[in-house]
Amino acid sequence: MVNRLCFAAVFATVIHAQDFTALEASLRSEASPGISVAITRGTEVIYRKAFGVASVETGAAVTPDMLFRLGSTTKMITAATLLTFVDQGKLDLQAPVSRYIPGLPACIGAVTAHQLLTHSAGLKDVAPMFGSHDDSALEANVRGWREDYCEGPAGKQFKYSNPSYVLAGYLAQVLSGKPFADTVEERILRPLGMAQSTFRPTMAMTYPLAEGHDNHRAIIRPAADYAGAWPAGSLFSNTGDLAKWMIAVLNQSFAPAISKPYLAKSKDGKTQYGYGLDIRGEGAARILEHTGNRDGYGSFIRMYPAQRIGIVILGNWTGAVFPKSLKAAAAALALPE
């Protein structure tokens, strides 16, 4: 017992002695208007801070608990939600979705859940940001699709498609018999303790919330929202909740199938795609990641399975990217880029 306690004390000292000076300088320089970041290792959050402002109009500071809208990093959570039905024997990933959703155009009904989750369904890519806020919008959107949504043969190659994840989310809704937002909350958010994460703007606004800004750093009014596309990129979350998500993924305690490589994404084959995750490198250099961009916000999640380290950065401006901060975080933790 003494040895274990000594080891724990030394390990804690190493964590708290980590030098994040360069990382903080990068975060401050890229916080325009604001950035929130968290880093996890093992089962612990070893760094979590926020920089900049939540609103250029009020000058209110960003806090670590503030919600941001994620963009496409949502896709890994949509994928994990759908996989829970596989675990229950309610979904065959290789079966045509028409088995579960009748009445779709033939070319859409013929695709499989696996193809949707790997962006190999051959569906076109559109990303509407404004529309109905009602739960019924997801079904109305999918039911409005016609044959022109099919642009290529399914199962042949990677073709990024937001509608693929919209359909995956609608499939989860059909299988659960509950609205998509409630299905994700019940099957992913609540079990992982992601208590403030939500798809619903009227729920998000009851928590501290970073305002979304455009490329000119002006607040976007009205705020972009379309319930018909929520599964592809509209989760509100914060770095605390996303730290819990990364810890669960990295410790293989939740949805391990999302982080398996299924399809070549890049022409050179160096980047593979899992279910809502880019996968590159091998062994100690293996990286899982995904970028998210949408009106008003940007996000990035990167995970290192061998080291069990995760990094999440959220920004409150359209197309937010964080190259210097990611490089600084990797350097501080002696990780590959």
The secondary structure element, H or E, covering residue 300 is strand 297-304
The two tokens of residue 299 are: 């996000």
Domain extent for 188: 21-332
Domain membership of residue 7 (yes or no) is no
Query: What's the CA gap between 324 and 321, in Å, rounded?
Result: 9
Domain membership of residue 119 (yes or no) is yes
SS3 state at 310: strand
Q: What is the pLDDT of residues 175-213, one digit of tens each?
A: 999 999 999 999 999 999 999 999 999 999 999 999 999
CATH number at residue 326: 3.40.710.10
Domain membership of residue 10 (yes or no) is no
The secondary structure element, H or E, covering residue 8 is helix 2-16
Contact 297, 70 (CB under 8 A): yes
Q: Is the pLDDT of residue 331 over 60?
A: yes
Query: What's the CA gap between 127 and 40, in Å, rounded?
Result: 31
Contacts of 168 (CB under 8 A, 6+ apart): 78, 79, 82, 113, 116, 117, 231
Contact 152, 113 (CB under 8 A): no
Contacts of 197 (CB under 8 A, 6+ apart): 67, 189, 235, 236, 237, 238, 241, 242
Q: What is the pLDDT of residues 150-184, one digit of tens each?
A: 998 999 899 999 999 999 999 999 999 999 999 99
Across 48-62, average pLDDT: 98
Domain membership of residue 327 (yes or no) is yes
**The Cα angle at residue 278 between residues 141 and 50, in degrees rounded to 5:** 85
The two tokens of residue 327 are: 């490089």
pLDDT at 5: 38
Contacts of 12 (CB under 8 A, 6+ apart): none
Query: What's the CA gap between 205 and 309, in Å, rounded?
Result: 31
Cα of 249 vs its chain's centroid, Å = 12
DSSP assignment of 23-69, as one string? HHHHHHHH-SSEEEEEEEETTEEEEEEEEEBS-TTT-PBP-TT-BEE
Query: How many structural domains is the chain composed of?
Result: 1
Q: Indicate the residue type of 173.
A: Q
pLDDT at 325: 96
Q: How many CB atoms lie within 10 A of CB 135?
A: 18
SS3 state at 238: coil
SS3 state at 308: coil
Whole-number average pLDDT of the chain: 93
The lowest-confidence range among 53-67, 140-154, 249-263 is 249-263
Q: What is the largest CA-CA distance in the chain?
A: 68
Q: What is the pLDDT of residues 275-304, one digit of tens each?
A: 999 999 999 999 999 999 999 999 999 999
pTM of the model: 0.93
DSSP assignment of 119-185, as one string? T-S-B------BS--STTHHHHHHHT--GGGB-S-TTSS----HHHHHHHHHHHHHHHTS-HHHHHI
**What is the signed CA dihedral for 189, 193, 199, 202, rounded to 10 degrees?**
140
Domain membership of residue 280 (yes or no) is yes
